Chain A
Amino acid sequence: LAKTTQPISMDSYEGQEVNITCSHNNIATNDYITWYQQFPSQGPRFIIQGYKTKVTNEVASLFIPADRKSSTLSLPRVSLSDTAVYYCLVGYNTGGFKTIFGAGTRLFVKA
């Protein structure tokens, strides 16, 4: 199982673009990269997932270089409501899979 390393915390201001990078040096061929967002007193919420290159949805983009040993979650024009903990997960999902959630990155958006 691939372990991940993320910054513990980041600060930003409203309207800025925020990039959070996750390192996963021992990612395996079948592994996907998935990002979750968690607000206090709630369960984590799926944001975006990718396998390689770039993925974009209505809330974020995910950049994955060719060697897949890292990935970057990009949040365009953050607002105060984006203050949360962001988790990067690497793994596949078949019967018997396990997940490793790291400590996540605590993003604090200031006015």
Chain B
Amino acid sequence: DVKVTQSSRYLVKRTGEKVFLECVQDMDHENMFWYRQDPGLGLRLIYFSYDVKMKEKGDIPEGYSVSREKKERFSLILESASTNQTSMYLCASSFQGLGSPLHFGNGTRLTVT
């Protein structure tokens, strides 16, 4: 079974802090994704990566950056956290074949005060 592990289940940070969210997958998937999920807005794609050191902006990349130095690890960085970045953050991975489904982690609930 594919396992996508997010390093923290809950995080509380202060406005202006630099925040790192880590995600590791164990299935040698090429693609990795970061989403945020907010009530009434569903899941929105922040960034994705289809290979090591490659990244593509999703629908809402502003205020975020990502890093993928190794195939199994994809990090989401909030350069200067703001209260409007309080959200549930979900990491996912998939193979690069046609129609390959996404495998999600259990999420990190981030609160910025």
Contact = CB atoms under 8 A, between A and B. Distances in A.
A108 interface: no
Given A99-B45, A101-B43, A32 B56 contact: no
B90 A43 contact: yes
Contacts, number: 69
B104 A93 contact: no
Interface of B: 4, 30-31, 33, 35, 40, 42-45, 48, 50-51, 56, 58-59, 90-92, 94-107, 109
Nearest to A43: B104
Nearest to A89: B102
Given A43-B107, A46-B101, A98 B31 contact: no
Interface of A: 30, 32, 34, 36, 41-46, 49, 51, 87, 92-99, 101-104
Contacts of A46: 101-103
A43 B92 contact: yes
The DSSP consensus for interface residues of chain A is loop
Given A43-B92, A99-B102, 8 more contacts: A41-B109, A44-B102, A46-B101, A87-B42, A93-B96, A95-B96, A96-B50, A102-B42
Contact of A49 (B30, B35, B101): B101
